[in-house]
Structure 1
Amino acid sequence: MINKTDKNEINKANALVNKYLCSFIFEKFLIKPKNQLGIEISQNQYAKLCGLSSSTISKLKEPKGYDIPLSTIYNICRHEQYSLQKLFKEFESKYGVNIPI
C-alpha cells in the first residue's frame, strides 16, 4: 500500500516526467512544425495533420507541460514517421531513466 507521502512523491515525479516529455516533443517537432513534405506549416495545420486539436499542441508548449496521453505522442510520431521506440530512446538518452524530483 502506498502512503500519502509516497503518493505525493510519485505524483511530483510523474508531473516532472510529463513536463520534460512535453518540452522534448515540442523542441523536436513543434518549434517549426512541418508537413510530410518538410514544408513549414502553422500549428493549426500541424494539429490537423496529426489528428489533434490545436489546443493539444498548445499544451505541449506550456512550461509546466501536461499529462500527455500516449495516443497524442503516437499521433505526432505517426505524422513525423518516427517510431515511439526511437523517440523514447532519445528522451531517455537526454533525461536518463530516473528523473529526480
Structure 2
Amino acid sequence: MARTVKCPSCGAELMVKDGNRDFMFCEYCGTKVRLDDYQETRRFVDEARIKESENQKELELKRMEFEERARKDKDKGFWIVLVGLVVFMIVCYITCQ
C-alpha cells in the first residue's frame, strides 16, 4: 500500500511505495527521512555537519576580521610614511634657505 509523507526539510509530498522501509531520501532536497510505525516522518539531524557549518562561519568571520585589520594597518602605515615625508621635506626646505 502506497502512502504519502511530507518532507520535514522542504515540505515536498513524498510517495512511500514500500511499507517495509525504515527511511527514505527526499527526491527534491536529499534529506534522509525516517519512516516510523505511526506513519510520521522525522528528520535526522547530523550534529557533525551542523558543528562543521558553525565552525566554517566562525572561520570566515575571523578571516574577514583579519583582512579588515590588515587593511587598516596598511592605511595607517601609508599615513605614517606620508607624514614622515612631509616633515622631511619641511626640514629640508628650512635648512636649504
TM-score by length of 1: 0.30
> Which one has the largest radius of gyration?
2
Higher helix share: 1
| RCO comparison, higher one (Cα < 8 Å, 6+) | 1
